Structure 1
Amino acid sequence: MTINCKGQLIDLSSPKVMGILNITPDSFYDGGKHKDEKSILLHVERMLNEGATFIDVGAYSSRPNADHVSETDELNRILPIVNLILKAFPNILLSIDTFRSEVAKQCIEAGAALINDISAGTLDDNMLQTIANLHIPYIMMHMRGTPKTMQQQTDYDNLVKDILFYFSERIAAAKALGMVDIIVDPGFGFAKTLEQNYELLNKLELFKIIEKPLLVGISRKSMIYKTLKTSAKDALNGTTVLNTVALQKGASILRVHDVKEAIECITLVKSLSR
């Protein structure tokens, strides 16, 4: 199971880590933490040194009730950072966390490698065609509504079956345009209650039916810290526990704030399987 990133074949049959770089002022965990060039580059360097295969950069917070950011503001935030990182780390595999086709296009043209879209193309009608034209890997996530409205849209007939049907439709639309390298993300925390998040994780192995690499992003999320009655800041141990479960149930990529600990999860789970 491989994807082609800028001519480099990445084997996802061995799980990989995607490190998170938020450059938004209002992200739930690290909003505003990385706002100058030095801190951004140090954070990226640390994640790469700890073993991250991908670095995911986002300039639009997708937390529940997040403020709207215009396309112009998103581009003004993210393009200088993309250029900064690529100048310092020319071989980096940079993922762009955006649901806007123009942002995706300009970032890929600047040297980014793949797109991570929380809406699977449902918030921008041009996204799938843009990705197909660019011939790049595409992460499509399950969500309903927008970050501002998603938590009011948690009614499902059958949670896992409904999400699998959603992906079958989105993958079919992508394939019809000639897209090849598709990764699916069930969207923990997006239009799902706390209980639904755990149901989804408990049944994660059912997503093997899609026959696409699976990305899991549960790092420090409320499904962890609310259950433990703590905070995002103190949710690393809980994140490690649930990342371990995700790996045992078939996750190909862990999207995390803490790369070292995620790499350790992968190493230990691999040892178990041997």
Structure 2
Amino acid sequence: MESLQIGRGRITWLNGGVNFLDGGAMFGVVPKPLWGKKYPCNDKNQIELRTDPLLFQIDGKNLLIDTGIGNHKLTEKQLRNFGVLEESSVESSLSELDLSADDIDIVLMTHLHFDHACGLTSRTDEGGYASVFRNADIFTTDIEWAEMRNPNIRSINTYWEENWKPVEHQVKTFQQEIELLPGLRMIHSGGHSDGHAIIIFEDSGEMFIHMADLMATNAHQNKLWAMAYDDYPVTSVHQKEKWMDFGYQRNAWFTFYHDAYFRAIKFNKFGEQEDVVRRERYEY
């Protein structure tokens, strides 16, 4: 598992699963001859994507950023349509670090789409669902939490009752911004979803910014490249511009949940790559 030390905190990427989605959907109106130079696709025009949670260990606490695609939550049709080749093994990843799901103190949900939230719950022997991270407080924006429980005609396909109902007693919401620990902020951005949030941590002159699905992969660095999955693409563009410039000026690391090739990239003030953490790759 790859890791990165930022100030007094350490990030380790867990195995949350892999799927393949249509490249055109992931890059919206951007022509394939452009995005294809940045991110490879297979003969079905699909690109490889991870759903790997970030374990952030700091001040004696274990925090998780998003939860993976889960296990035994998708139908055969969904597995096929979403190109899922590997489901989550988050608990196995935690075990390698001598941790368990019960050791997670806080879960930060950038948003609650199924590919980020399925790992919140698991099937029980009785056929229902139960919380995976039983001892954790789960943070998300109030807007996202409201839509999760009352999805519209579009979002009903990604906000699922089995992902929220078993954990509703653990959920804590905020409006615009919350500081969870000194230097660690969760900020409402909107864009990808109305309640989408980003995460920023700064300590001892070092910083990481987790843009989540505003910058899903390294190839989405261009501020105008928004996904067709974005509910509010113009908001995504403006928020990307704002926070990427913010990070560039501070020589920040940008971390990824979905990227199949990079775990994190450090950009200089000109938006040029200065350092990278690559994902160890293997063939499926």
Shared fold per TM-score greater than 0.5? no
| TM-score (normalizing by structure 2) | 0.33
* Structure having the larger proportion of residues in strand: 2
Q: TM-score, normalised by structure 1?
A: 0.33
Where relative contact order (Cα < 8 A, 6+ residues apart) is larger, the structure is 1
